[in-house]
Structure 1
Amino acid sequence: MTSTAISSQGSSFSVNTAASGAAQPTWTKVANVKSYSGFDGTATEIDVTDLDSTAKEKRLGLQDNGSFSLDLNVNYSDPGQSAMLAARAAGTSKQFKLGLPDGSAKTFFAFVKSFPIAGGTDTVLTSTVALTITGDVTDVPAGS
């Protein structure tokens, strides 16, 4: 096999539940995550064209890291899901960590924009939680 692709199986998603201003994060795993996607933002384009330009000229503005979403099976007694619901209700940002199977991670701050539920006959309660990222996404190398 020649592929160097990283399997997503074994990824983990956690929320920092330490008290505000704590020196070290307390990572609380969010249970029942089935899939995730995100970091889909883009930088704005700034038009810097002037009368001497021979074509449109542009520069990139600040990077917008966009959003992040989680598909999960709902468990209201899970501490990680409860922390996200509390953050949504309070309108406060929380620090999150996406742990990847190769040992690296990505950390970021985000607001919990929505935490809807869906259900039906012969199913469990599910949700697609929407997070809005604020600030940078930090890459954490494996072993850090």
Structure 2
Amino acid sequence: MTSNAINFEGSQVEIGQGNAVTVDEGADTFDEISEVKSTDGPGGDTTIFDVTHSQSTAKEKRAGTKDEGGFNVVANYIPGDTGQQSCQTARTNRQLRNVKVTLSDGTVFDFKAFCRRFQVTSGIDQAYDANIDFEISGDVTVTPA
């Protein structure tokens, strides 16, 4: 049987130029984060809380509000890259931004996020990496290809 797996190559990560509090994703202009090497997310969890009471015969639980968590990007660090500069500006200004991830098959993940971290790292026999961590606020919309 042939696999339906989606290749990473050809995927794209973009950050909106406007503050997502005042700019709708559909009206935003996006900058691509160049030379992305890997991503992690989006993905999150849900808090579970205890509602056990005196008549319970076993622990009773409820699901709380979902938390879409974070989205992490590792890219080759390029100081003049517009997308990477936009991430740094968003972090410095504590701006909520629109983020769009397009997979190689055309599937799109849209969400609003804060850029929590922009860190440059490297080592012997390695290129410099830009490690970019986003914290998602609200829902993630997935539009299949």
Does the alignment reach a TM-score above 0.5?
yes
Q: Aligned partner of 1:36: which letter?
A: T
> Does 1:58 find its partner at 2:64?
no
Separation in 2, partners of 1:19, 1:62: 25
Q: Aligned partner of 2:119: which letter?
A: P
Separation in 2, partners of 1:76, 1:50: 57
Q: Please list, as runs of the form range in 1=range in 2, the aligned pairs for 1:106-117 lying within 5 A after superposition.
A: 106-117=109-120
The CA deviation string for residues 63-100 of structure 1, in whole angstroms up to 9 with x for no partner, is 10111100111112111111000001011111100101
Shift of 1:46: 1.7
The CA deviation string for residues 4-37 of structure 1, in whole angstroms up to 9 with x for no partner, is 1111211100011146634512121110110001
Q: Which residue of 2 aligns with 1:134?
A: 137
Q: Unaligned stretches of 5+ in structure 2?
A: none
Shift of 1:52: 1.1
Q: Which residue of 1 aligns with 2:39?
A: 36
Secondary structure of residue in 1 paired with 2:89 = helix
Q: Which residue of 2 aligns with 1:2?
A: 2
Runs of 4+ in 1 over 2 A off after TM superposition: 18-23, 119-124
Q: Unaligned stretches of 5+ in structure 1?
A: none
Higher strand residue share: 2
Q: Which residue of 1 aligns with 2:106?
A: 103
Q: Which residue of 2 aligns with 1:72?
A: 75
Shift of 1:109: 0.9
Q: Please list, as runs of the form range in 1=range in 2, the aligned pairs for 1:118-133 lying within 5 A after superposition.
A: 118-133=121-136
> Does 1:27 find its partner at 2:30?
yes
| TM-score (norm. length: structure 1) | 0.90
Tell me the number of residue pairs that the alignment of Structure 1 and Structure 2 aligns.
Answer: 142
Q: Which residue of 2 aligns with 1:15?
A: 15
Identity rate of aligned residues, in percent?
A: 36
